[in-house]
Amino acid sequence: MGSVALSASAARQVQRENAAIARGLKRQDPELLDRLIETYQHRLMRYLMFLTGKRETSEDLFQEVWIRVLRRGSQYNGKARFDTWIFTIARNLVIDLSRKRTMASLDEMREAGEDERPFEIAQEGPSPLEQFRYREDAAELATVMGSLEANYREVLTLRFHEEMSLEEIAGVTRAPLSTVKSRLYRGLAALKPQLVKLRAQRRQEEARA
């Protein structure tokens, strides 16, 4: 009962914080914007870096996200988490940029044959999920995730770096929940062989050194 009460109390606190942010954005409170940038800058840049793979592009988009927040802050009503709202803005900006450069959008970067059915992972030894969350080196994971398909990379980033629920990820990506699950499972399944390959390459380099 105690954990349930604590969870409910935490949820009410988040709701109060979201409502306060909504009121401040409607007033275009400059101090609030400074606090929000300070709070979310690292998470937002990390998300943009994972989506674009380019620091300069990510920095430009980072600035544009906060310009949009300032201009469209009155649209945020506080009912959803603020981080979900700004990640949605960031994602839309990445898609817009990709389309301007005649690149495939994130929604179009799908493996041939990907469907809405969840992808089952063979459970032999530690699962990719366990490795991702508890065992793997952060630098190795960053390298491997950079090589994954953009839609898998995005879902993994939102789920494990930003700790969003699957429902919240579906809201950010505007994808059905079943598609989010499929991308998550397939992305996790792709991590293990990529990690094995990366480590084999590093062992070879160390042996030659």
What does the alpha-carbon distance between residue 66 and residue 72 come to, in Å, rounded to a whole number?
A: 10
Cα–Cα distance list, 209 to 112, 191, 205, 206 (Å): 40, 27, 6, 5
- Answer whether residue 160 shows pLDDT above 50: yes
The predicted structure's pLDDT at residue 150: 84
Structural domains for the chain:
2-103 (1.10.1740.10), 122-208 (1.10.10.10)
Instruction: Work out the average pLDDT over 187-193.
Output: 82
The DSSP-derived string for 144-209 is HHTTS-HHHHHHHIIIIIS---HHHHHHHHT--HHHHHHHHHHHHHHHHHHHHHHHHHHHHHHHH-
Output the CA angle 46-132-153, nearest 5 degrees.
45
Q: State whether the Cα torsion 198-203-206-207 is positive or negative.
A: negative
The predicted structure's pLDDT at residue 148: 84
Contact 101, 173 (CB under 8 A): no
State percent of the chain over pLDDT 90.
22
> pTM (2 decimals)?
0.62
Most trustworthy range by pLDDT among 98-107, 127-136, 188-197? 188-197
Neighbours of 149 (CB within 10 A): 17
- Answer whether residue 183 shows pLDDT above 80: yes
Q: Which helix (H) or strand (E) holds 10?
A: helix 2-27
Residue type present at position 33: L
The predicted structure's pLDDT at residue 8: 76
pLDDT band at 1 (very low <50, low <70, confident <90, very high): low
Contact 172, 83 (CB under 8 A): no
Instruction: Work out the average pLDDT over 179-201.
Output: 84
Q: Which helix (H) or strand (E) holds 169?
A: helix 166-173
The predicted structure's pLDDT at residue 5: 52
Instruction: Work out the average pLDDT over 154-179.
Output: 87
Q: State whether the Cα torsion 14-20-25-30 is positive or negative.
A: negative
pLDDT of 40-91, one tens digit each?
999 999 899 888 888 899 999 999 999 899 888 899 999 888 999 999 999 9
pLDDT of 110-155, one tens digit each?
443 444 444 333 334 444 444 444 445 666 777 777 788 888 888 9
The predicted structure's pLDDT at residue 106: 58
